[in-house]
Each structure stands twice: as structure tokens, then as C-alpha cells.
Structure 1
């Protein structure tokens, strides 16, 4: 099976939405993003495991601040990795590309921008509105 290019994907008719070829396109996109992200996480972990040989208090403080920043970054990257895995699971179940709230198509352009999206634009806006109103002051 030939994987589509992005232009070929967008040129397909509306009734081809989430066809086998489109699903294959997004599977390859998600797998590539996952591999790239996993490599970055592995590199960060390797760097974090390097012992700090400095004895200068200022250098130790700066190194600790850098380490905390790297840990926050790793946490965000791990969350993204989880979202990619969830998207791959939805693909395997045939649910990828469909809004989990409305059942409507999410849309190819949105999925190209955010391949892990599980909500259409309207449902995402409603979710963000609820979050804003429920946020403690």
C-alpha cells in the first residue's frame, strides 16, 4: 500500500474520509512522531544521568535549575507520547479521525496540525469554555 503525500491526502474527495489509505497516512505520521519523540526522551534521560562534577555552588545551583527544567520538559514529552499512543489505539479500533463527543469528522486539516486530536474544533472550544468557567480563582 502506497502512503499518500500531504497534498494527495488533502486532494482526496470528502467521501474518502478515513479510508484505508488515509488511515495509513496518519499511522505513518504518528509512528514517525513517536519515534522522534522517544529518541528525544532517551537523549534527555541520558543527559540527566550524567553526574555533575562541579564543586562551585553557583554551578551546582545552575545545573539543578537546568535539571528541573529538563524534568518538566520530559513530563510534557511523556504526556505527548501517551497522546500519540492513544491516537494509535484509536486508529487500531477504527475510531481515529472522529470526534469522541459528537461522532463528527475531526477534519484532515486539523489532524495534520494536531494528529493526536480526539475532538472536532467545536467540541474542543466547548471543552475549553467549561475549563475556563470551572477554573478556581
Structure 2
């Protein structure tokens, strides 16, 4: 399965801390009931807000001025760090579109169900990856097909 960058996990964990600590969806409830949908909606909104906050701090750092390291090695290192930071922000920009799509799926009562099989994705998977659109099995099959087509 595709790995999730550690920074994205940190931001998701921060978003989870902003939710009601007295409620976490569990398997004893009816799947995708209103309370679970509200939980995931708030989680996605909080996650998106955390990403925007993080992006704003990067933008502010960029506005503070260019890299002015006197040593060429220090300058190269700083430029490499900025390149990594900007790639991270681009990945998070794409993640925001996935979050928006997940919010639309919640509104249309499609959230939590595999887009391939129509089966429930599962609460544990959604808590770990709220933008998931496929069950673990469907995702693995998709990635195997993708790998085979890349190898051709």
C-alpha cells in the first residue's frame, strides 16, 4: 500500500486532538450513522484547517526573505530544505482536494463505502486514513494492477 508521509500523519493526529475526546466511532454502532458522519466531517474539516495553518507558516517564512547563507554549502542545504518543504506543500494541496471530495461523499451518504465494491471500508481504516475510498483489499488489488501496468 502507498505510504503516508510522517508529516501528514502528524497533522492528522493534531486534527484528531481537536475533536470531542469523549467519542470515537466503534463497531458496536450502526455503520455510518449520523454521529459517525459528524465525527468524520469534523475530523476532515479540522485536518484541512491544520494543513492550511501549516501552509500559512511556510508562506510566511517564504515572505520573510530569500536564503542568505554566506557559505555555499549552507546555502545549498537551505535550498534543499526549501525544496522538500515546497514538495510537501504540493502534496498537501492535493490532499486538500481529497478531503473536499470526502466531505462531498459524506454529504451524499457515500462516505465510508468502497468506490469499487460498494462494501463498507471499515472504521479503523477511516480513522487511520479518513480520505480512503477503497477497502484494504480493493486498494491492494488496485496497486497490484498499477504495478503490473508500470512494469509493462
Deviation at 1:12, TM superposition (A): 2.7
1:1-46 CA distance string (max 9 Å, x none)? xx7611xx21533xx1111111111111111111111111111121
**Counterpart in 2 of 1:12?**
28
**Counterpart in 2 of 1:52?**
66
**Counterpart in 2 of 1:125?**
140
Conserved? CA contact 1:52–1:60, under 8 Å: no
Map 1:1-137 onto structure 2 (within 5 A).
5-6=23-24, 9-13=25-29, 16-52=30-66, 54=68, 56=70, 58=72, 59-136=74-151
SS of the equivalent of 1:135 reads helix
Q: Which residues of structure 1 form unaligned runs of 5+?
A: none
Deviation at 1:94, TM superposition (A): 1.1
Whole-Å Cα distance in 2 between the matches of residues 116 and 126 of structure 1? 18
Q: How many residues align?
A: 131
1:105–1:11 distance in 2 versus 1, CA, 3 Å: closer
User: Which of these two proteins has the greater Rg computed from alpha carbons?
Assistant: 1
Deviation at 1:51, TM superposition (A): 1.2
Whole-Å Cα distance in 2 between the matches of residues 25 and 90 of structure 1? 14
After superposition, the CA RMSD in angstroms is: 1.9
Name the one with the larger helix percent. 1
The two structures have a TM-score, normalised by structure 1, of 0.86
Which stretches of structure 1, 4 residues or longer, exceed 6 Å deviation after superposition?
A: none
Q: Which residues of structure 2 form unaligned runs of 5+?
A: 1-19
